[in-house]
Amino acid sequence: MAKTVKILMAIIFGLILVLAIAVFVITRLIDPNDFKPEISAAARDNANLDLTINGDLAWTFWPSLGVQIGHTEARIVDDEELFAGIDSAHLGVALWPLLSGKVEMDEIRIHALTLNLIEGPNGPNWERIAASDTPAEATPDAATEAESSSIDIPLSIPSIVVSDANVRYRVLADGTDIVIEHANISAQNVSLDQPFPVQASLRYQDQSDIRIDTSIDTVLAMNLDKNIFKLSPLTVDADIGGVTVTPLSVHTKMNVEAALDEDRVSVRELLLEAAGTRTTGGVDINQLSGKMIFAGELKTAPFDANAALKAIGEAPIETSDPSALKSVSFEAKLSGPENSIMLNPLTIKLDSSTIQGSAGLADIDSGKIVFNLSLDKLVADGYMPPDVEVAEESAVASNATTGILPPLSDEALLPLEDLRALIVDGKLHIGSVSLMDIHASEMDFVVKANQGLMQLTQAQGKALGGTFSATASLDARTDVPVMTLSKKVTHVQVQPVATMALEDDLFTGILDMALDFSSKGNSEKALVENAKGTTTFKLVDGTVRGANLHNTLVGGINDMLGAYKQLAAFIPGQESGKLPLELSEDTKIIDLTGAAHLEKEIAYIDKLDAKLNRGAVNGAGHLNLRSEEFDFQLSMQSPDISESKYLKDQVWPLHCKGNLEGSAADWCRPDKDGFKKIGKDLAAKAAAEKLKEKYGIESDGGTAEEVIKDAAKQKANEEVKKQLNDKLNKLFK
């Protein structure tokens, strides 16, 4: 028995040896390079490719039976540009299992693969690669026969390696130019039945100079019968450059399942870490080949916003409160109808503030943005720059010193093409906001945008003890955009706003105002030059601090009485020629109404009527909105300034001129020429009345001197003239 076994073993070994020698002899006697012309012809006839095999074709015998291919290039017929190429490739079959009747792949290696994909006027170049235009038609019987006669060879490849591959994709119509270079792909123990590990690395770069260096590590499982592919786990590490100042490092880990027959992809146990942020969750995407449907959940743990900015090379946001922006978080569920990405519900937390609601793309194809959000509260003071006051004071001081405003810019302000692409339908509710003692609440805003027409259709709320409402629009459908604004405020306290704007407590009162404004252009200069608007306003229970118009008036009258001493004699109790000043340095406004219009950068006050606690004022003037310089001509009456009939009913001219940043005490002065003229007129009137009272002489008016001369002319006797003249002169001394 043992002898028989030895004989059988010798025979089997001999057969194997003979087969091995035969394979060896074949691989040595048959030169594969002799088949280059046939291979090239087959590529041209069946794939429309001009194949050039510059390198050698060679057999390998041990430890695997295979073929090596040297440098090879492929061009689409009639194209000069390279379509594809390799520096070398190797395909092998394990020899020992082959001798046992089993086919086991040994390895596949491809080095320096090059692929050049172009979408041009005639379509993608890869669509020109095709088999013969007249393929043989396979009959059902033939197909069945081929299927029954085929050998079922289990696929198991110990190693597949693609090294230093480069792919370029271009779209000539829009300038898309994507390059994937230094791509390396490695897979071990590749099997259709069992999961196997895959590693890859590559660099992505496009026409926008965005660069991504990425590495991938996963385990791939395939079910070709059901067309299901699983990557579990899938780990991706990437350094992204060209988007942020410093390249952004991203680490992602997840489990992915793609069921192509079911038209879905599922991402589970997602972990995304980047710039100090950590996001977890999962996403399901259905209807991949049509209008996609998204469902899932995402959650970003609280992070420090400034630390995230620092990680990407951006300057931190400087805030007056060092603890601001220390805790930012995000949580949302993905939902919505097909072809949309909606976050509903959505929760964003910014320190102690919370935003809730829904937001997303209502239509992926059009890019329509929709949102309906509610902010509970925001104390904005802590988010303001810490040096804002210093900067503003420095700028004001510079303007005040030089008196020269910087020129208006001609640079374009608005990205018109981007605005025209916007489609927005959104609502925002804010419970409360406070900034520098300005409090607003119950605010609602509605915005819409479509094809370049942006509208604020609603803006309303409570603020400063009153209410406000506004509508606005920006029409960017042409190259000369048009802006409009309509605004109303009712019973609003002006003191906090004036204090914030002027950095001084100068004005108080309750304001009602209606404003209509418009302008056009796409630069600072154009908008200012085309600015137009009208406004009406009413202020009650107001105060102008540091400027007492009554005292300004009294000072002017006292100066006038000093110049016309004869008038003091007619003012009961004021023979000294001095009216008393108020102790207050402010002007109390009982009621003020006005109307103004805007042209370019100048607000012209067409009408100003005010009832003061001691008198009334009316007038007109203008205010330069850029320089904050103003010039007003006012007329003031103050009946209780004196019991004198010469003073109490008189209208007095005042001139207010200066800068809102200046001292209020220096704003208003008596109009010297006007007071001088009034003094002359009052002196003449007093002279005429005294002449009539004492001597019964009627005068035709004029100055005091002219009245005296006129009275003297009415006396024929020279001696009487002299006596009358002396008496009158004494009267007015």
The three-state (H, E, C) secondary structure of 116-128, written as one string = EEEEECCEEHHHH
**pLDDT for residue 391 is more than 50:** no
Cα 565 to Cα 576: distance, rounded to the nearest angstrom? 9
β-pairing, 105-111 vs 156-171, is parallel
Element (H, E) at 301: strand 293-303
Residue 569 banded pLDDT, cuts 50, 70, 90? low
Rg of the chain on CA atoms, in Å? 46
Whole-number percent of the chain with pLDDT over 70: 78
**pLDDT for residue 573 is more than 60:** no
Residue 197 banded pLDDT, cuts 50, 70, 90? very high
Give ∠ CA 271-274-276 in degrees, rounded to 5. Answer: 105
Q: Which range, of 51-55, 241-245, 344-348, averages the lowest pLDDT?
A: 51-55
Q: Give me the pLDDT at residue 20, please.
A: 47
Residue 252 banded pLDDT, cuts 50, 70, 90? very high
Dihedral-angle region of residue 591 (phi above 0 means left; psi in -120 to 50 means alpha; beta otherwise): beta
Residues 6+ apart with CB under 8 A from 51: 39, 40, 43, 44, 72, 73, 74
What is the average pLDDT across 475-487? 96
Amino acid in position 3:
K
- Range with the largest mean pLDDT of 29-43, 361-375, 559-573: 361-375
The model's pLDDT over 436-462, given as tens digits with 9 standing for 90+, comes to 888 999 999 999 999 999 999 999 999
**pLDDT for residue 389 is more than 50:** no
**pLDDT for residue 705 is more than 60:** no
Which residue did the predictor score with more confidence, 584 or 435?
435
Cα 165 to Cα 201: distance, rounded to the nearest angstrom? 10
